[in-house]
Structure 1
Amino acid sequence: MKFTDGYWLVRDGVTLQRPAEVHDIEVREDSLRVFAPVTRITSRGDTLNKPVITVTFTAPRADVIAVEIEHFAGARQSLPRFDLAAEATAPVIERAGEGEGETVTFTSGRLAARVALHGPWHVDYLWDGDVLTSSTARSVGYAQVEGEGPYVLEQLSLGVGESIYGLGERFGAFVKNGQSVDIWNADGGTSSEQAYKNIPFYLSSRGYGVLVDDAGPVSFEVGSENVTATQFSVPGERLRYEVYGGGAPLEVLDRYTARSGRPPQLPEWSFGLWLSTSFTTEYDEDTVLSFVDGMAERGIPLSVFHFDCFWMRGFHWSDFVWDPATFPDPRGLIAKLHERGLKVCVWINPYIAQRSHLFAEGAEQGHLVRTVDGDVWQSDLWQAGMGLVDFTSKEATAWFTGKLEALLDDGVDAFKTDFGERIPHEGIVWADGSDPLREHNFYTQRYNQAVFELLERRRGEGEAVLFARSATAGGQRFPIHWGGDCESTYEAMAQSLRGGLSLTSSGFGFWSHDIGGFEGTPDPTVFKRWIAFGLLSTHSRLHGSNSYRVPWLFDEEAVEVMREFTRLKQTLMPYLLATAENTARTGHPAMRSMALQFPEDPAARTLDMQYMLGSDILVAPVLQPSGEVDVYLPAGRWVHLLDGEEVETATGTFLRRRYDVHSLGLFARAGSEVLAQVRG
């Protein structure tokens, strides 16, 4: 959200006040409070009739500084709040200097905030004494917007050449500089500014991260309102954000995920190939078994079979009852799939259609979200007359997960937790009194957590797996997440990859996407290129909207390509499991951008058409019909995993290669264990 009209003016309908100077400070054992009036105080009369901005610094963990900017401190603390793990840390608070140069420094571990006590407002954030970013005289603001109310904003400076990454799943340019980003979950596909997974955390190439600790609609202007600053703003009377030190980007993510949560260790079977019925296609038990047996007959190893929406009857979503016309014996079918060595996943969502027998039950028992008038909130968007499970209620959560117990009794192993983005925020009341504006984004956290914890209870720790679409900060604790509804084109492959790299730059360890794309039917060559990309992602699923994704429906070469890359992933399994264990321990994403892995290499900072799978494998998918791909190899010696090409470079080099559908840009570090595993 922009508040200014160029550099000099404020936008029409906006009043904007900024701290002019530090008038006083209050030092406590665990905090530093700074009181900054919006005008300079030259006489006693200046203390009347004007706001004071209060800025409080605390240290929730070593190397982390939390900053809270308040106008009216009596404003109600809005729920929900992110679940952030604290660790007892004793900050060091010191005054230094004299006269105009006097400062007070608040230090947490190796990270410090240095506040100027005289002159214009100025705070430097330092790592080992070096300035990372600053809040300057035109940074902090309290705005009143006509017709909307108050906002609090902050701007942190951008240095020359500094790049910003993250902010969740974003399908546009990987580097966020120059972009306006609104943190607001939406079901918008993969080709717009909307995203399913919005995370108010960004990562800087200068070695720090920033989390805006607000579950609501945070607005970011990344070098777009002030081209030398990242601005973030929230509605209300206070803004809380945290600065994460760390040096290298992966070290920053280590600190961030230590606070926001890390994924658990995932079961080996989840890394294999998932096959879906697709969405609106016709299917029954015979269809399912023909697909599964067809893959086995062609030597393509499967790990999971997924039943999408129409395992239930149309107009009944969700009632969690198998459609008797197509699946008269679900337990028997699941047993047959288990006998074939497969796990079983079924699609669910938290929207209860009016025709579902659960609607009347949920309404009567008070488990569905209600309007301010006391009615059950309903919509025809998605399912006719649907209501919404109120996960702010422990009773409603237990009611919902209790309905899933029967599916686990049937033998279901995992759930695809779809949707969770189209959450109303006007005219409704949540059971625990949460702010509807902030519950909009946070709803997905409650939803995914409830289902994940059910799976942990029933299947045991280390066996729980979701296939989730929506998320907020901390959602990485409930993996896996996939990229949502993309088209079936090369362009959509690139969009999906950018979204995945952006998400994993925001603290998420694992990521997947629909091989072949979701909307439409891909050209056979696109499908084959997507197979290679999909099976060299952390998790791999064949899924579509109105057409099947079994390879023999495309051509026989697609069968060969599927077999080759599925078997390659099996060969890579020891490496992938070790990488996943490291992700669970450190928060380092298993699939990561070149900028995360090689922050010292300027050429890597903007690359968004290739990535690292773990620390030793470089993947550059083919994203154009010609089969050409430009691959950047950082300094070192690299070996192509499939054809054995060796490249040694002292400073990094770009290669242009043309690959047929049986290959792609796929290099490993020379001397790495994974290279020996694959090439012997």
Structure 2
Amino acid sequence: MKFTNGYWLTRPGVTALYARQVYELRSHSNGKGFNIFAPAGRLNSRKDTLNLPAFDVDVTAPAEGVIRVRSSHWDGGAETPGFPVNVDEQDECGYVRLCEQGNADGEVGEEGASISLSSGPLCARVVKGSPWNLTLSAGGRVLTKSEGKALAHFALEPNAAVSASPVGEFGVSSDGSAYDESTVFSACKLSLGVGEQVFGFGERFGAYVKNGQTIDIWNEDGGTASEQGYKDIPFYMTSQGYGVLVNNRGHVSFEVGSEDTEAVQFSVPGEHLDFFIIYGPTPKEILRRYTALVGRPAQVPAWSYGLWLTTSFTTHYDEETINSFIDGMADRDIPLSVFHYDCYWMREFQWCDFEWDKRFFNDIESTLGRLHNDRGLHISAWINPYVAQRTAMFKDGKDKGYLVKKTNGDVWQTDLWQAGMGLVDFTNPQARQWFKHKVKTLLSQGVDAIKTDFGERIPRDVVWFDGSERLSMHNWYTQLYNQCVFEAVEEVKGKGEAILYARSATVGGQQQPCHWGGDCESTFNGMAQTLRAGLSLLTSGFGFWSHDIGGFEGASPDSAVYKRWVAFGLLSSHSRMHGSTVYRVPWLFDEVDVQQGKRIAPGQSAVEVARKFTLLKLSLMPYIYQLGLLAHETGTPLMRSMFLEFPDDPIARTLDRQYMFGPSLLVAPVFTYSGEVEYYLPAGCWTNWFTGEQVDSNHGLWRREVHNFDSIPLWIRDGSIVVTNPAAKSPEGEYGHSAEVHVFLNNVEQTEVVVSEIDGTSCRFRAYKKNGGIEVIASDGRDFVAVAAGGSKVMSRRGRAVLEG
């Protein structure tokens, strides 16, 4: 949100207050934090204290490597709630140093004196008497500063030329004016260094590097080709080695070098501002500290990594149609792990009442039992938090007070989506239990996973059961919704066996995986913007991510888009074939080619491409399963931007059309009909997964290639061990047994990797150069096949194999 008119002026209707002087510094009584008193003007005599606003700022260290800043102008009003964070205010870890002698109660006396707070390697320092200043540094290196006119309070007149997102009925304002949201805003700027780049903010469909963008943290169902997002996260990190979380559940507006080209500005409605600075220095270390603060991703079940197939968002399907899909995949040797029932498992005009449409699914428990027992499938079902008026569930929710109400006590309703629908009030504990019971009933019928759709269209002029502030619930609602459903699944299936397929999220949502990228277009542009959004989300604390293979919107993707998306989708954390009005089974896309009179070359049909990449992903399960455990334990995502893996490479930091699948595999999806693709290999030795070609570069290099549909740029990083099960037909199994251990040692002398099993046991494979060859050892002496970068294979004996030079 922009409050200024160029460098010198404010916009019409805006009155600004700035912290102008650090007048008083006082350490907290526990010695683990300090307070800054900063008037909005320079004091030259005592009379200058009259009629003078001021800012009260507390600086604390709630966790190692983390510093928290809380500022207020007026402290008498309600504060928008922040997110649940894992801090112990009674045991803060920082310590304060007074750089000049203070008095007995910890006040720093003279101008020019400074006070600093250290939290591990991170240090916050303020100098007294100077204009507003707060410097964050680590290891003697300045990370960022807030100085000058950086801490601000803005008051708006009704005609203020400041606008929030014009998002209509459900959003901040019906006319786009920020005044309609609040008459006052608090803001802070943190400086950007020359060349410093900014990443994150959750799911954003624009460029991965966020410099120059205005970003509103306000979840919307806006598709994937706009500035809106389904999963907006008020967290970012930069190439300088730190991250920032604005601790506010409501509308947070960021100007990322867009209003002030030298800073990131963030603003929130009201008199209070609360934010955390989180040190790295690496992006992975920032995520480790950040997810320790806001919660780490749950462990997901192994079966969820396999291929998901859905009914798509189609109006006509029944048990016969579903069986034809499942039989068709089996007949074509494309292993299927999960089958998903989308919206129309319930009767039209009755979403979401959790009742199967008996016209088409009369004995659902028997049906799901056969799919489980005879087909070995897991089952997913679609739900949303809206309840249509034409249901017994609506009447029950209305009578019991479980639906969100308007200010006059009536149930809030709308015809947008379902006729007369109401909204479940998850702030009501009894409503939560009521909804959880519905989910558990669904699970008892044979469902294993829940697709929690929607959660973004949250009204503003309503009353919540627990008295929550109305605008703070817009983004926070999705967390209460997904948390309720995830708890229900976890209580039935157990920890490590629960998984959602969620569309909306806020801070904390990473604890209830997995999330998918929303309603993307069935085009190469739709595919590319989906990847950009996924990389941003995965830079924001989320460990798992998926998307609709083939795209969602539109009648149907053409065969080329579908096949290119299949390769990308099956080299993603989770893989689901789903669309809008056309089923996404691969043979339909071969038939399109035949009808157009095109001859499909061997290996290039959609069926063959789907089979190849499904089997490839299943063969990589020892590698993928371990990455999932790492996401759960450290917050490092499975799919990673090039920035996360190569933060010191200035070229890699900007790339958003390729990614790392874990630390070892580089993937560059193809976004063209011709098969042309341009991508970048960072410095080092890389081996092509499909051809065995090796490339070694001291400075990184660009490659331009043309790929058939059954190929994709897939490269292995030097120093990697990638364990595979080449015969796997299921994502579940014994990963470290009968395995192939692929070793890539060129410029690296030794390396090792852990392979964990579903039962919790593990084996460590270690490889090192010895006597001109490579020796590979399994820690528990198990048998395996060692595979050299060139493809030669050696069978181990008593857990040891030697690959020749």
CA contact (8 A) 1:571 1:677 kept: no
Name the CA distance, whole Å, in 2 between partners of 1:670 and 1:120: 51
Corresponding position: 1:552 with 2:600? no
CA contact (8 A) 2:439 2:489 kept: no
Name the CA distance, whole Å, in 1 between partners of 2:207 and 2:550: 22
1:146-203 Cα deviation digits (max 9, x unpaired): 1321100000000011000000100001100000000000000000001000000001
Partner of 1:50: 52
CA contact (8 A) 1:151 1:235 kept: yes
Partner of 1:23: 23
Structure 1 residue 100: Cα displacement: 5.5
1:497-538 Cα deviation digits (max 9, x unpaired): 000000001111110000000012001011000000000000
Q: What are the residue-to-residue correspondences of 1:227-626 with 2, within 5 Å? A: 227-339=261-373, 340-426=375-461, 428-520=462-554, 521-555=556-590, 557-626=605-674
TM-score by length of 2: 0.83
Structure 1 residue 332: Cα displacement: 1.1
Structure 1 residue 288: Cα displacement: 0.5
Corresponding position: 1:674 with 2:675? no
Deviates more, 1:118-127 or 1:174-183: 118-127
Partner of 2:778: none
The 3-state SS of whatever aligns with 2:233 is coil
Higher relative contact order (CA 8 A, sep 6+): 1
Name the CA distance, whole Å, in 1 between partners of 2:495 and 2:332: 34
Name the CA distance, whole Å, in 1 between partners of 2:213 and 2:628: 32
Partner of 2:766: none
Partner of 2:84: 83
Corresponding position: 1:130 with 2:141? yes
Partner of 1:656: 704
1:420-439 Cα deviation digits (max 9, x unpaired): 0000012x100011011010
The 3-state SS of whatever aligns with 2:686 is strand
Name the CA distance, whole Å, in 1 between partners of 2:378 and 2:426: 28
Name the CA distance, whole Å, in 2 between partners of 1:505 and 1:409: 36
Name the CA distance, whole Å, in 2 between partners of 1:157 and 1:90: 26
Name the CA distance, whole Å, in 2 between partners of 1:353 and 1:57: 48
Structure 1 residue 77: Cα displacement: 2.8
Structure 1 residue 223: Cα displacement: 0.1
Name the CA distance, whole Å, in 2 between partners of 1:540 and 1:176: 27
More helix per residue: 1
1:208-261 Cα deviation digits (max 9, x unpaired): 000000000000000000000000000001000000011011110110000111
The one-letter amino acid of 1:82's match is: F
The one-letter amino acid of 1:366's match is: G
Name the CA distance, whole Å, in 2 between partners of 1:216 and 1:129: 35
CA contact (8 A) 1:597 1:615 kept: yes
Structure 1 residue 92: Cα displacement: 1.3
Structure 1 residue 671: Cα displacement: 4.5
Structure 1 residue 385: Cα displacement: 0.3
CA contact (8 A) 2:62 2:94 kept: no
Name the CA distance, whole Å, in 1 between partners of 2:206 and 2:673: 21
Pairing partner for 2:76 from 66, 74, 77: 74
Corresponding position: 1:33 with 2:35? yes
Partner of 1:63: 65
Structure 1 residue 89: Cα displacement: 2.8
Structure 1 residue 328: Cα displacement: 0.9
Structure 1 residue 301: Cα displacement: 0.3
CA contact (8 A) 2:254 2:266 kept: yes
The one-letter amino acid of 1:32's match is: F
CA contact (8 A) 2:79 2:270 kept: no
Corresponding position: 1:4 with 2:4? yes
Structure 1 residue 630: Cα displacement: 1.0
TM-score by length of 1: 0.98
Number of aligned positions between the proteins: 678
Deviates more, 1:643-652 or 1:519-528: 643-652
CA contact (8 A) 2:314 2:583 kept: no
Partner of 1:179: 213
1:650-677 Cα deviation digits (max 9, x unpaired): 1111111111000111101134221764
Name the CA distance, whole Å, in 1 between partners of 2:395 and 2:719: 63
Structure 1 residue 97: Cα displacement: 5.8
Partner of 1:108: 119
Structure 1 residue 31: Cα displacement: 2.4
Structure 1 residues without counterparts, runs of 5 or longer:
none
Name the CA distance, whole Å, in 1 between partners of 2:469 and 2:715: 49
Deviates more, 1:211-220 or 1:110-119: 110-119
The 3-state SS of whatever aligns with 1:602 is coil
Larger-Rg structure = 2
1:387-446 Cα deviation digits (max 9, x unpaired): 0000001011001111122111101101000000000012x1000110110100000000
Structure 2 residues without counterparts, runs of 5 or longer:
102-109, 159-178, 592-604, 724-739, 743-790, 794-805
Name the CA distance, whole Å, in 1 between partners of 2:67 and 2:634: 20
CA contact (8 A) 1:281 1:547 kept: no
CA contact (8 A) 1:488 1:518 kept: yes
RMSD, matched Cα: 1.2
CA contact (8 A) 1:425 1:437 kept: yes
1:32-87 Cα deviation digits (max 9, x unpaired): 111000011111111111111011111111110010110111111334x3111115
Name the CA distance, whole Å, in 2 between partners of 1:129 and 1:213: 27
CA contact (8 A) 1:572 1:677 kept: no
